[in-house]
Structure 1
Amino acid sequence: MILDSVDNIEFYKSFNADIYEGLQFIKNAPVDIALGEYPISANVKALVMEYETKIDNGFGYEAHKRVIDIQFPFIGKELVKYVTLDKLSAYTAYDEVKDVTFYRTTEPESEVVIGNGIYGIFFPIDAHAPQHCYSNMPEYIKKIVIKIKVT
């Protein structure tokens, strides 16, 4: 998992072209961008969504085998819990169509707050539990999730 600021996007230009493309989308997206899916390249797409954060997200942790997630709330902030897969047990079988497995809630190894210029990058070994409120009050989130195919 990587936690970073939109101010540091240029670093990723030499690190990984697909991650950089996704971060450029985040940097250039207008605040009034419509909800939906946006193709960026053959390996990269953006999903724009909105919801209210919760004290309990209701589904625990998720992990993907074939994509890297970049998660960035550009309106609001959100707490994302994180734990490595080796510390979890799945409660769903892997869904190949949606590329997701869900895992039981456990104590996180870490918790990060994203939004306000901060994004998180979650790799296939990173189980993450988004949608949590970072304070005890639910908050409206408008968020971009970049999906990068892992080849």
Structure 2
Amino acid sequence: MIIDKLENGAQYAALHPNFKVAFDYLLSTDLAALEVGKFDIAEGVKAIVSDKDGVTAETAGEKFECHNKNIDIQLCIRGNETMGWKPRTDCTQPKGEFNEEKDVIFYADKPDMYFSLKGGQFVIFYPNDVHAPMIGVGPIKKLVVKVAI
């Protein structure tokens, strides 16, 4: 997991071939003007924009998730978002099998820690990072960039 400010995003371009594409997009786009929805940025790089009220830690924990085929770059555009995190290797309570089509598995485990992002900050979740996003009060606008592995 990596946490930083968007203005520093370019320094992570070397970590994955499509990170440059993702961060070039994030740094050159009027993020506040993005409409809610899903769209392709480039081959292997997809985006999901949401703008909704945050939820309790308990509600977010119901979707404590990780992925096998994608790395998430989750950017808080507006609001304050708290997220739960735990290493996948420490999770022992899967809720069902891995869903290949949706690239997700959920866990009943509890996060080891919580951290918060404000507008202009991002987190990179690798497949070993189990996460519970969207914890907060009031509206949170965010962009999740899915980078195929």
User: Which stretch of structure 1 is more off in the superposition, 38-47 or 118-127?
Assistant: 38-47
Specify which of 65, 77, 81 is matched with residue 80 of structure 2. 77
Root-mean-square deviation (Å): 1.5
Instruction: Indicate yes or no: 2:146 matched with 1:143.
Output: no
Q: Report the equivalent of 1:125.
A: 128
- Determine which of 80, 92, 97 is the counterpart of 2:96: 92
What corresponds to 2:107 in structure 1? 103
Partner Cα separation in structure 1 for residue 73 and residue 106 of structure 2: 18
User: What secondary structure sits across from 2:10 in the alignment?
Assistant: helix
Aligned length: 145
**Residue 12 of structure 1: CA displacement?**
2.1
Shift of 1:58: 5.3
SS in 1 for 2:33: coil
Superposed displacement of residue 131, structure 1: 1.2
1:124 partner amino acid: P
2:18 partner SS: helix
**Structure 2: segments with no counterpart, 5+ residues:** none
Say whether the 8 Å CA contact 2:77–2:120 is kept in structure 1. yes
Q: What code does the residue aligned with 1:74 have?
A: I
| 3-state SS of paired residue (2:42) | coil
Structure-1 separation of matches of 2:13 and 2:67: 24
Structure 1 consecutive aligned stretches of length 4 or more whose deviation exceeds 4 Å = none
Counterpart position of 2:67: 64
* Secondary structure of the corresponding residue to residue 40 of structure 1: strand
Distance 2:69 2:15 in 1: 19
Q: Quick one: which amino acid aligns to residue 54 of structure 1?
A: V
Distance apart, 1:35 and its partner CA = 1.2
Question: Which residue identity is paired with 1:93?
Answer: E
Name the TM-score, length of structure 1 as normaliser.
0.88
Question: Equivalents in 2 of 1:23, 1:112: separation in Å?
Answer: 22
- State the TM-score, normalizing by the size of structure 2: 0.89
Residue 9 (structure 2) aligns with: 9
In structure 1, list runs of 5 or more residues that go unmatched.
none
Identity value in percent: 28
